[in-house]
Protein backbone atom coordinates (compact mmCIF):
# COMPACT_ATOMS: atom_id res chain seq x y z
CA UNK A 1 0.00 0.00 0.00
CA UNK A 2 1.31 3.43 -0.96
CA UNK A 3 2.26 5.79 1.88
CA UNK A 4 0.00 8.79 2.59
CA UNK A 5 2.64 11.23 1.39
CA UNK A 6 3.34 9.29 -1.80
CA UNK A 7 -0.27 9.13 -2.98
CA UNK A 8 -0.30 12.92 -3.30
CA UNK A 9 2.90 13.13 -5.33
CA UNK A 10 2.54 14.31 -8.93
CA UNK A 11 4.01 11.10 -10.38
CA UNK A 12 1.63 8.92 -8.38
CA UNK A 13 -1.45 11.02 -9.16
CA UNK A 14 -0.73 10.98 -12.90
CA UNK A 15 0.35 7.36 -13.35
CA UNK A 16 -0.94 5.02 -10.65
CA UNK A 17 -4.15 3.04 -11.35
CA UNK A 18 -5.22 3.73 -7.74
CA UNK A 19 -4.71 7.49 -8.10
CA UNK A 20 -7.30 9.71 -6.45
CA UNK A 21 -7.84 11.32 -9.86
CA UNK A 22 -9.70 8.23 -11.11
CA UNK A 23 -12.58 8.91 -8.72
CA UNK A 24 -13.04 12.68 -8.57
CA UNK A 25 -15.17 14.87 -10.86
CA UNK A 26 -12.30 16.39 -12.82
CA UNK A 27 -14.48 18.61 -14.97
CA UNK A 28 -15.92 20.34 -11.91
CA UNK A 29 -12.44 20.74 -10.42
CA UNK A 30 -10.81 22.11 -13.57
CA UNK A 31 -13.62 24.51 -14.43
CA UNK A 32 -13.65 26.01 -10.93
CA UNK A 33 -11.91 29.40 -11.09
CA UNK A 34 -10.17 28.58 -7.82
CA UNK A 35 -8.18 25.86 -9.58
CA UNK A 36 -6.47 28.51 -11.71
CA UNK A 37 -6.18 31.19 -9.07
CA UNK A 38 -4.54 28.76 -6.65
CA UNK A 39 -1.51 28.53 -8.95
CA UNK A 40 1.45 30.86 -8.74
CA UNK A 41 2.03 33.28 -11.62
CA UNK A 42 5.01 31.15 -12.71
CA UNK A 43 2.84 28.03 -12.82
CA UNK A 44 0.15 29.86 -14.77
CA UNK A 45 2.71 31.10 -17.28
CA UNK A 46 4.14 27.59 -17.62
CA UNK A 47 0.71 26.11 -18.36
CA UNK A 48 -0.21 28.91 -20.76
CA UNK A 49 3.02 28.23 -22.69
CA UNK A 50 1.85 24.67 -23.34
CA UNK A 51 -1.15 25.90 -25.35
CA UNK A 52 -0.69 26.15 -29.12
CA UNK A 53 -0.57 29.63 -30.68
CA UNK A 54 -3.88 29.04 -32.47
CA UNK A 55 -5.66 28.45 -29.15
CA UNK A 56 -4.30 31.32 -27.07
CA UNK A 57 -6.94 33.87 -28.09
CA UNK A 58 -10.29 33.11 -26.44
CA UNK A 59 -13.32 35.02 -27.75
CA UNK A 60 -16.05 32.62 -26.68
CA UNK A 61 -17.54 33.37 -23.27
CA UNK A 62 -17.77 29.60 -22.67
CA UNK A 63 -14.60 28.31 -24.33
CA UNK A 64 -14.69 24.70 -23.11
CA UNK A 65 -15.47 22.39 -26.06
CA UNK A 66 -18.39 19.99 -25.78
CA UNK A 67 -16.05 16.99 -25.85
CA UNK A 68 -14.03 18.23 -22.85
CA UNK A 69 -15.93 15.99 -20.44
CA UNK A 70 -15.62 12.76 -22.48
CA UNK A 71 -11.87 13.32 -22.88
CA UNK A 72 -11.49 13.76 -19.14
CA UNK A 73 -13.40 10.53 -18.54
CA UNK A 74 -11.19 8.78 -21.09
CA UNK A 75 -8.13 10.04 -19.23
CA UNK A 76 -9.53 8.64 -15.97
CA UNK A 77 -10.29 5.28 -17.57
CA UNK A 78 -6.78 5.06 -19.06
CA UNK A 79 -5.29 6.05 -15.71
CA UNK A 80 -7.31 3.37 -13.88
CA UNK A 81 -6.16 0.77 -16.41
CA UNK A 82 -2.50 1.56 -15.82
CA UNK A 83 -1.84 3.07 -19.24
CA UNK A 84 0.30 5.86 -17.75
CA UNK A 85 2.61 3.52 -15.82
CA UNK A 86 6.19 3.56 -17.07
CA UNK A 87 6.21 -0.12 -18.09
CA UNK A 88 2.97 0.26 -20.10
CA UNK A 89 4.31 3.39 -21.81
CA UNK A 90 7.54 1.59 -22.66
CA UNK A 91 5.67 -1.36 -24.18
CA UNK A 92 3.44 1.00 -26.17
CA UNK A 93 6.48 2.83 -27.56
CA UNK A 94 8.15 -0.45 -28.52
CA UNK A 95 4.94 -1.63 -30.22
CA UNK A 96 4.78 1.65 -32.17
CA UNK A 97 8.39 1.11 -33.35
CA UNK A 98 7.56 -2.45 -34.39
CA UNK A 99 4.58 -1.23 -36.42
CA UNK A 100 6.70 1.48 -38.06
CA UNK A 101 9.30 -1.15 -38.97
CA UNK A 102 6.67 -3.33 -40.63
CA UNK A 103 6.70 -6.14 -38.06
CA UNK A 104 2.92 -6.61 -38.32
CA UNK A 105 2.49 -5.93 -42.05
CA UNK A 106 2.13 -9.60 -42.97
CA UNK A 107 -0.39 -10.12 -40.17
CA UNK A 108 -2.37 -7.07 -41.25
CA UNK A 109 -2.55 -8.18 -44.87
CA UNK A 110 -3.68 -11.64 -43.81
CA UNK A 111 -6.38 -10.44 -41.45
CA UNK A 112 -7.93 -7.47 -43.25
CA UNK A 113 -7.28 -4.81 -45.84
CA UNK A 114 -8.45 -2.25 -43.34
CA UNK A 115 -6.01 -1.24 -40.58
CA UNK A 116 -5.86 1.49 -37.98
CA UNK A 117 -9.13 2.92 -39.24
CA UNK A 118 -7.81 3.69 -42.73
CA UNK A 119 -10.17 2.66 -45.52
CA UNK A 120 -8.68 0.52 -48.24
CA UNK A 121 -8.92 1.60 -51.87
CA UNK A 122 -12.12 0.01 -53.10
CA UNK A 123 -13.75 -0.10 -56.52
CA UNK A 124 -15.86 3.03 -57.00
CA UNK A 125 -19.07 1.01 -57.13
CA UNK A 126 -18.53 -0.39 -53.64
CA UNK A 127 -19.71 2.85 -52.05
CA UNK A 128 -22.88 2.92 -54.14
CA UNK A 129 -24.65 0.40 -51.95
CA UNK A 130 -23.64 -3.02 -53.26
CA UNK A 131 -21.83 -3.96 -50.06
CA UNK A 132 -24.94 -3.12 -48.02
CA UNK A 133 -26.58 -6.22 -49.48
CA UNK A 134 -24.16 -8.40 -47.51
CA UNK A 135 -25.72 -9.84 -44.38
CA UNK A 136 -23.93 -10.28 -41.09
CA UNK A 137 -24.53 -14.04 -41.27
CA UNK A 138 -22.54 -14.22 -44.53
CA UNK A 139 -19.60 -12.53 -42.88
CA UNK A 140 -19.81 -14.83 -39.85
CA UNK A 141 -19.90 -17.92 -42.10
CA UNK A 142 -16.86 -16.61 -44.00
CA UNK A 143 -14.84 -16.28 -40.79
CA UNK A 144 -14.69 -12.48 -40.64
CA UNK A 145 -15.00 -12.56 -36.85
CA UNK A 146 -13.13 -14.47 -34.16
CA UNK A 147 -13.76 -15.25 -30.53
CA UNK A 148 -11.91 -12.61 -28.53
CA UNK A 149 -12.71 -9.77 -30.95
CA UNK A 150 -13.78 -6.57 -29.26
CA UNK A 151 -16.50 -4.39 -30.75
CA UNK A 152 -16.13 -0.84 -29.43
CA UNK A 153 -19.51 0.88 -29.55
CA UNK A 154 -19.73 4.69 -29.53
CA UNK A 155 -22.71 6.83 -30.45
CA UNK A 156 -23.75 10.35 -29.47
CA UNK A 157 -27.44 11.04 -28.89
CA UNK A 158 -29.13 14.42 -28.73
CA UNK A 159 -31.87 14.91 -26.17
CA UNK A 160 -34.95 17.07 -26.64
CA UNK A 161 -33.37 19.82 -24.51
CA UNK A 162 -30.35 19.96 -26.84
CA UNK A 163 -27.87 18.25 -24.51
CA UNK A 164 -25.77 15.45 -25.90
CA UNK A 165 -25.09 12.04 -24.39
CA UNK A 166 -22.18 9.83 -25.47
CA UNK A 167 -22.83 6.12 -24.98
CA UNK A 168 -19.70 3.92 -25.11
CA UNK A 169 -19.11 0.23 -24.44
CA UNK A 170 -16.57 -2.37 -25.42
CA UNK A 171 -18.17 -5.78 -25.87
CA UNK A 172 -16.21 -9.02 -26.26
CA UNK A 173 -17.12 -11.80 -28.68
CA UNK A 174 -17.27 -14.88 -26.43
CA UNK A 175 -18.78 -17.46 -28.76
CA UNK A 176 -19.91 -18.07 -32.34
CA UNK A 177 -22.69 -20.63 -32.15
CA UNK A 178 -23.80 -23.12 -34.78
CA UNK A 179 -26.72 -20.88 -35.80
CA UNK A 180 -24.22 -18.19 -36.85
CA UNK A 181 -25.08 -15.97 -33.90
CA UNK A 182 -22.42 -13.91 -32.16
CA UNK A 183 -22.52 -14.16 -28.37
CA UNK A 184 -21.09 -11.08 -26.68
CA UNK A 185 -20.22 -10.19 -23.11
CA UNK A 186 -21.65 -6.71 -22.52
CA UNK A 187 -20.62 -4.47 -19.56
CA UNK A 188 -23.50 -3.78 -17.20
CA UNK A 189 -25.11 -0.37 -16.73
CA UNK A 190 -22.94 2.53 -17.84
CA UNK A 191 -19.67 0.63 -17.54
CA UNK A 192 -17.52 0.93 -20.63
CA UNK A 193 -15.11 -1.95 -20.19
CA UNK A 194 -15.82 -5.67 -19.67
CA UNK A 195 -15.63 -7.28 -16.24
CA UNK A 196 -16.96 -10.26 -14.30
CA UNK A 197 -20.50 -8.80 -14.21
CA UNK A 198 -20.95 -8.78 -18.00
CA UNK A 199 -24.36 -9.62 -19.44
CA UNK A 200 -24.53 -11.97 -22.43
CA UNK A 201 -26.21 -10.89 -25.65
CA UNK A 202 -26.71 -13.07 -28.71
CA UNK A 203 -26.60 -11.13 -31.99
CA UNK A 204 -28.34 -12.90 -34.85
CA UNK A 205 -29.23 -10.35 -37.48
CA UNK A 206 -28.85 -6.58 -37.73
CA UNK A 207 -26.04 -5.04 -35.58
CA UNK A 208 -28.61 -2.45 -34.47
CA UNK A 209 -30.02 -5.05 -32.08
CA UNK A 210 -26.79 -5.08 -30.08
CA UNK A 211 -26.69 -1.28 -30.10
CA UNK A 212 -30.26 -1.07 -28.79
CA UNK A 213 -29.34 -3.50 -26.01
CA UNK A 214 -26.26 -1.42 -25.08
CA UNK A 215 -28.29 1.80 -24.97
CA UNK A 216 -30.98 0.13 -22.86
CA UNK A 217 -28.36 -1.03 -20.35
CA UNK A 218 -26.91 2.48 -20.23
CA UNK A 219 -30.35 3.81 -19.36
CA UNK A 220 -29.93 7.47 -20.31
CA UNK A 221 -31.70 7.43 -23.68
CA UNK A 222 -35.39 6.54 -23.96
CA UNK A 223 -36.05 7.27 -27.63
CA UNK A 224 -33.64 5.87 -30.24
CA UNK A 225 -33.28 7.72 -33.56
CA UNK A 226 -32.54 5.88 -36.78
CA UNK A 227 -28.91 5.48 -37.82
CA UNK A 228 -26.38 3.26 -39.57
CA UNK A 229 -25.49 0.71 -36.88
CA UNK A 230 -22.60 -0.60 -38.99
CA UNK A 231 -20.75 2.65 -38.31
CA UNK A 232 -21.35 2.60 -34.54
CA UNK A 233 -18.74 -0.09 -33.86
CA UNK A 234 -14.99 -0.42 -34.33
CA UNK A 235 -13.63 -3.95 -34.50
CA UNK A 236 -10.48 -4.61 -32.46
CA UNK A 237 -8.46 -7.81 -32.72
CA UNK A 238 -5.27 -8.55 -30.79
CA UNK A 239 -5.13 -4.84 -29.88
CA UNK A 240 -5.21 -3.90 -33.56
CA UNK A 241 -7.94 -1.62 -34.95
CA UNK A 242 -9.60 -3.27 -37.96
CA UNK A 243 -11.79 -0.26 -38.72
CA UNK A 244 -15.51 0.18 -38.28
CA UNK A 245 -17.88 -2.73 -38.82
CA UNK A 246 -18.89 -0.86 -41.98
CA UNK A 247 -15.23 -0.90 -43.11
CA UNK A 248 -14.92 -4.62 -42.41
CA UNK A 249 -18.00 -5.29 -44.54
CA UNK A 250 -16.60 -3.14 -47.36
CA UNK A 251 -13.34 -5.10 -47.29
CA UNK A 252 -15.21 -8.41 -47.29
CA UNK A 253 -17.33 -7.28 -50.25
CA UNK A 254 -14.23 -6.20 -52.20
CA UNK A 255 -12.69 -9.66 -51.84
CA UNK A 256 -15.69 -11.46 -53.28
> Which segments of the chain are extended strands (E)?
150-158, 164-176, 182-186, 199-203, 233-237, 240-244
* pTM given for the model: 0.55
Higher pLDDT, 244 or 104: 244
CB burial class (10 A; 0-12, 13-18, 19+) of residue 1? exposed
Mean pLDDT value of segment 162-185: 91
Span 16-35, average pLDDT: 86
Residue 32 has pLDDT above 70, yes or no: yes
CA distance linking residue 27 with residue 49, whole number of Å: 21
- The predicted pLDDT at position 104 comes to 61
Q: Choose the most confident range, by mean pLDDT, from 33-37, 79-83, 181-185.
A: 181-185
Listed in sequence order, the residues at least 6 apart from 17 whose beta carbon sits closer than 8 Å to its beta carbon are 79, 80, 81, 82, 85
Question: Are the C-beta atoms of residues 179 and 204 closer than 8 Å to each other?
Answer: yes
- Average pLDDT for the chain: 81
Better-predicted residue by pLDDT, 6 or 64:
6
**Of how many residues is the chain composed?**
256
The pLDDT value recorded for residue 227 is 81
Tell me the H-state helices in 143-238: 208-218
Q: Mean pLDDT, to the nearest integer, of 178-204? A: 89
Q: pLDDT, tens digit, for every residue of 71-114?
A: 788 888 888 888 888 888 888 788 777 766 766 666 655 555 44
Q: How far apart are CA 86 and CA 74, in angstroms?
A: 19
Stretch 235-246: mean pLDDT, rounded? 86
Q: Is the dihedral of CA 192, 195, 200, 202 positive or negative?
A: positive
- Give the Cα-Cα-Cα angle 142, 212, 192 (nearest 5 degrees): 90
Angstrom CA distances, 81 to 28, 78, 86, 88, 186, stand at 22, 5, 13, 10, 18
- Strands of 52-209 (E only): list them: 150-158, 164-176, 182-186, 199-203
Predicted local confidence at residue 125, as pLDDT: 43
Give me the percent of the chain exceeding a pLDDT of 90: 27
Predicted pLDDT of residue 148? 92
State how far the Cα of 68 lies from the Cα of 29, in Å rounded to an integer.
13
Longest pairwise C-alpha distance within the chain: 66
Angstrom distance (rounded) from CA 46 to CA 44? 5
Residue 177 near residue 202, CB atoms below 8 Å:
yes
Lowest model confidence (mean pLDDT) among 5-14, 48-57, 82-91, 166-175: 48-57
Amino acid sequence: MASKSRIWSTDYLLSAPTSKLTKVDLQTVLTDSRAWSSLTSEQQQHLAAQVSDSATEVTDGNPLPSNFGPHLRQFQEDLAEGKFKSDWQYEAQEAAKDRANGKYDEWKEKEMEVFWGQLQKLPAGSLAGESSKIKLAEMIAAGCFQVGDVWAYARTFKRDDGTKVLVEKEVILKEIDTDLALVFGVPAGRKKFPDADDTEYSLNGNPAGLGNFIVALDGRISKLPNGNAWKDYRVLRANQDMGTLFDVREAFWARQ
